[in-house]
Amino acid sequence: MSADTVLVAAIEQLKKERNAIVLAHYYQEPEIQDIADFIGDSLELSRKAASTDADVIVFCGVHFMAETAKILSPEKTVVLPDLDAGCSLADDCPADEFADFRAQHPDHLVVSYINCTAAVKAQSDLICTSSNAVDLVRQIPETRPVLFAPDQNLGRWVQRQSGRDLTLWPGRCIVHETFSEEAVLQMKLEHPAAEVIAHPECQQNLLDLADFIGSTSKLLGYSESSNADTFIVLTEPGIIHQMKQRVPNKTLLDVPGLDGCSCNACPHMRLNTLEKLQACLETLEPAIEMDEEIRLRALKPIQRMLEMSL
């Protein structure tokens, strides 16, 4: 038996003993996706965290995702295999600076992308994810000005799709900002029938080259429904593991970062490992803890999102 097989068997056993569910995002390592009970995009993972009857949620993703699970299911133990698994968008938007920004726009409705801290969610009127952002902004009365944080690339895309003028916080994702336009143009020349599919966190020049733009789950769905048999995939390459299973006969091309670096792999997501997953099931640490007042304030805009989403 290989070391990994032993580890996987131990994790399965611990899951039963703890009555635990393992939730994983599509950017996790393939071996973590394979052991997960549920894989999804941020919206689907939030819904699952809110509805599960497990006692323990092991969140294989990044901190804001585990925090959202805790906000929705405070009675459950929520553990994140590596507490340092953060997100550049959440880091780019400190709660105190965000409070000043809001104060400068007192008449604005505050829409925050789920990739932010609980302290920023607590200052927001509505949370969105990349899969529902356009639809939610369209539902806001046109007379109401909107402040959108923290991802400016997503915000600009929502602006173009909804026709709404949004006041943007200047946050960015260090992963989606690194894709090389030159590499995509070269790949399109080499694969003229390929379709470019992109996450809306990419910069405008890359989104301009895309045939389809959407959240991770929507990109997966499009790879199945499109007639194309080759895709140039402009998002974190962890998603290719699921795509290969959904469309085994199609060609999936990962795009390098600027200067050919592999910085398109999210350094935060990739901190989680099978070993850390086993350890957190054993010790139920590191667990997500949060101030109850912040949790209750952060819960409201998340619940509003869930109610307003189709």
> What single letter denotes the amino acid at residue 247?
V
Q: Which amino acid is at 109?
A: L
Which x/- pattern, by CB under 6 A, does the window 73-112 give for ligand SF4? Answer: --------------xxx-----------------------
Q: Least CB distance from residue 229 to ligand SF4, whole Å? A: 27
**Binding ligand 13P by CB under 6 A: which of 54, 111, 119, 173?**
173
Cα–Cα distance for residue pair 138/211, rounded to 1 Å: 22
d(CA 266, CA 201): 13
Which residues from 215-274 bind ligand SF4, rule CB under 6 A? 236, 266, 268-269
| Closer residue to ligand SF4 in complex, CB, 8/152 | 152
Q: Which does 129 bind (CB under 5 to 8 A by kind): ligand SF4, ligand 13P, none?
A: ligand 13P
DSSP state, 255?
P
* Longest CA pairwise span in the chain (Å): 64
Residue 263 CA: distances (Å) to CA of 33, 169, 189:
21, 24, 23
Among 11, 33, 39, 41, binds ligand 13P (CB under 6 A): 41
Considering CB distances under 5 to 8 angstroms, the limit depending on partner class, which of ligand SF4, ligand 13P, none binds residue 88?
Answer: ligand SF4
CB-wise, 174 or 209, nearer to ligand SF4?
174
Burial 240-279 (b: 16+ CB within 10 A, else e): bbbbeeebeeeebbbbbbeeeeebbbbebbbbbbbebbbb
* Residues of the shown chain interacting with ligand SF4 in the complex, contacts defined by CB under 6 A: 62, 87-89, 115, 173-176, 201, 236, 266, 268-269
* Residues of the shown chain interacting with ligand 13P in the complex, contacts defined by CB under 6 A: 41-42, 115, 129-130, 173, 199, 201, 215-216
